[in-house]
Amino acid sequence: MFANPSILAPIGFILAILMALALLRWRRPTLPLATPAGEIAPDEWYRVRRTREHTTRAARALGAVEIFSGVVIGAVGFYEASFRGDLAWMVLFGPLMIGFGMEIGGLMPSWITDCLATTAEIRFFDPRGEIIFERPTTTARIRTLRNRIRPYRLELTATDGTTRRLALDDHGVSTLRALGWIDENESRA
């Protein structure tokens, strides 16, 4: 029916990505809605993860390049796989590069990865599931990284040994400081 497999390769690649996103959407628990930034209220939820509005221009540009490269590499990989070519392994890197590009550029949808905070707890969701970090049993540390793409990393550690790491920008750090999770004079290594 379809004589030209080169047409099917990009279509199959896009369908594989859409099915993976649908699977992640199905697993996502219901998180409270985030309050827009502004005055900090103790009982309101605030989104602290990277979003497109708060990432740097360099991070958005690199994210766009990664996403475009992932689509091209995935399509070439499917095309080569349809003819049993030497570059068929490239199909594995397409979705990986698209995911990295979405995370770097601040384009990761909130139903894949999200981090919301109040003064009492931080709710972190990623493809592994939802984790609730409560204030008395959690240590939150901010690490300053030496790059412009991901300037900060939040490290959450619960007393039971559960740890999660999240890339942050200036907006997320200032929100966590206003909520009282991060000390103003904390040394950042």
Q: pLDDT tens, 73-100?
A: 887 777 777 776 676 677 778 888 888 8
Other CB atoms within 10 Å distance of the CB of residue 10 = 16
Look at residue 32 in the predicted model and tell me its pLDDT.
55
Q: What is the dihedral of CA 24, 63, 53, 148, to 10 degrees?
A: 120
With a cut of 50, which residues of the chain have pLDDT below it?
1-3, 187-189
Fold of the domain built from segment(s) 33-51+110-189? PH-domain like (2.30.29)
Look at residue 1 in the predicted model and tell me its pLDDT.
46
Look at residue 187 in the predicted model and tell me its pLDDT.
42
Strands 121-126 and 46-47: unpaired
Among the listed residues 16, 30, 48, the one whose alpha carbon sits nearest the alpha carbon of residue 121: 48
> CATH 2.30.29.30 region(s) of the chain?
33-51+110-189
Q: Phi and psi of 60, rounded to 5°? A: -65, -40
Distances (CA, A) of 17 to 34, 53, 85, 99, 128: 27, 25, 22, 10, 18
**Which run of H or of E encompasses 131?**
strand 129-134
